[in-house]
Amino acid sequence: MKWKLAVGSIVGGALITLLTGLLRNTPEMLVGAEHYGYPLPWLRQIVYPGAPLEVPPEYFLNLVVDIVVWALIVGIILLVLMRRKK
């Protein structure tokens, strides 16, 4: 039962994090780049013709933090639903 909660939390957190990669999270004053991911931006694209998709090394930490944050949220929701079911 506990392993289902842990696996569900991690998988749910990773899926939500990847889905938030579709949400633009660019600061208003930033011109020439777009940031994606929520709550922390973990993907950045420079905006000019032919620019490659760029992922700076420090953004991998943001990706891991986002997965942990969303996994905790999903875990709490799953725990509440499991307790309510009993």
Q: Look-up: residue for tokens 């949220």?
A: 73
- By DSSP bridging, strand 53-54 and strand 43-46 are antiparallel
Is residue 72 scored above 80 in pLDDT?
yes
- pLDDT confidence of residue 40: 83
- pLDDT confidence of residue 10: 93
Distance between CA atoms of residues 28 and 19, nearest Å? 22
- pLDDT confidence of residue 50: 72
State the average pLDDT for the chain: 84
Distance between CA atoms of residues 70 and 40, nearest Å? 11
- pLDDT confidence of residue 54: 62
pLDDT bracket for residue 53 (50, 70, 90): low
CA dihedral 69, 75, 76, 78 (to 10 degrees): 150
Is residue 55 scored above 70 in pLDDT?
no
